[in-house]
Amino acid sequence: MSISVVPEMSVKDLEKVLKHLPKPTVAEVALYGGFDYSSISEQANKLIPGIDITDGGGLIFRLRDPTNDKIIDIYKRSTGQKEAESGQMTVSIIGSAGAKETRKARPAIPLRIDLHKVEWYLGNRVEIELTPWEVNVKYSGKEPSYITQLRHELSGSKVRFGIEANK
């Protein structure tokens, strides 16, 4: 048995995907860190000005009035924060006998908003689901031109792309 790791798409690849798609129908974000759940929407707006979220249950929240620009902004901030958090910091601990011991420690998780999932429900029973790891498309009938353009744009990229035709 082998396990393969699917990397998150780059910000550039996300921009390539979104340039071919209209305004999303639904967008969900995941919250990390010590949010005060009595004022989640206000805290989210302080982290990423202009976003407005509603309770989605648990750590997943819906973005009110999602736009492609908001999706890109959230993703850019999130990937930048994750890269900064991936490093570990080293701390020195002085024991009771005065001996120094060096250990690696992780800092507390700062507040972060990650892109969870974006969905489009379009004409001709076209459904598109985008996550940080992949894009999945389902449609009936003739392939819409924006799907053809998206397919060509992503060919040769590392983005996982799935299509189910005539669903």
Enumerate residues 6+ apart whose C-beta is below 8 A from 134: 6, 9, 159, 160, 161, 162
Q: What proportion of the chain, given as a percentage, has pLDDT over 90?
A: 51
pLDDT, tens digit, 9 for 90 and up, residues 76-134: 998 887 777 665 444 444 445 555 555 555 556 788 899 999 999 998 799 999 999 99
Q: Please tell me the predicted confidence (pLDDT) of residue 91.
A: 43
Model confidence at 36, in pLDDT bands (50, 70, 90)?
Answer: confident
Reading the block at residue 107, the tokens are 């800092």
Least confident range of 17-31, 52-66, 139-153: 52-66
> Distance of alpha carbon 140 from its chain centroid, rounded?
27
E strand map for the chain: 26-32, 53-55, 60-63, 89-94, 100-105, 112-122, 126-130, 134-139, 160-165
| CB 129, CB 118: distance < 8 Å | yes
Give the 3-state secondary structure of residue 162.
strand
Q: Please tell me the predicted confidence (pLDDT) of residue 106.
A: 55
Enumerate residues 6+ apart whose C-beta is below 8 A from 102: 90, 91, 92, 93
